[in-house]
Amino acid sequence: MKRKSDPRHKMRVQTVKALFEKNFRSNLKIAKTSMVAKIITKQKAIDKLITQHAPTWPLNQIAPIDLATLRLAIFELLFKKNKEPYKVVIDEAVEIAKQYGSEASGSFVNGVLGSIVKSKSIMGTKSIKSTTS
């Protein structure tokens, strides 16, 4: 069972917080080798996926904390080199959304990520192969 003291969980929370902050402070300095910087380089592709899988929610209407959580999870699912099982990534994202977002955040994040996983036809696999959109 995962714990909040798990270093991977702490790293995810810190990444979500930094992405959230970046939404409001465009001049925020980010280390070029950090996960946040890597996510930012893929942000257009990630945002396109969010738009496709949450069509009734324009990006500017998604709560910033939910958007940061989705960006991290989608990056982990599709672009991260060392992949974890998709169920772990989704579970972590839902937990972070529940902890920092609204009452509906967990369900929203779960729905968007579930839709992405189904569209990528990886339900029976442990991880998703990298795509280059």
Domains by residue range for the chain, with CATH: 42-123 (1.10.940.10)
pTM reported for the whole predicted model: 0.86
Whole-angstrom Cα distance, residue 11 to residue 76?
Answer: 12
Contacts 24+ apart (CB under 8 A), 75-79: 75/35, 75/38, 75/39, 75/42, 75/46, 77/113, 77/116, 77/117, 77/120, 77/128, 78/46, 78/49, 78/120, 78/128, 78/130, 78/131, 79/38, 79/42, 79/45, 79/130, 79/131
Nearest to 21 by CA among 80, 54, 67: 67
Which residues, in sequence order, are CB contacts of 100 under 8 Å at separation 6+? 16, 65, 69
Q: Average the pLDDT over each of 71-80, 99-108, 123-132 and give the range with the smallest value.
A: 123-132
Q: What percent of the chain has pLDDT over 70?
A: 87
Whole-angstrom Cα distance, residue 29 to residue 62?
Answer: 24
The per-residue pLDDT for range 29-63, each reduced to its tens digit, is: 999 889 999 999 999 999 999 999 999 999 999 99
pLDDT for 121 equals: 57
Which structure tokens are listed for 49? 């996926």
The per-residue pLDDT for range 57-93, each reduced to its tens digit, is: 999 999 999 999 999 999 999 999 888 899 999 999 9
3-state DSSP assignment of residue 4: coil
pLDDT for 5 equals: 78
Whole-angstrom Cα distance, residue 79 to residue 60?
Answer: 23
pLDDT for 74 equals: 96
Question: Confidence class of residue 2 from pLDDT cuts 50, 70 and 90?
Answer: low
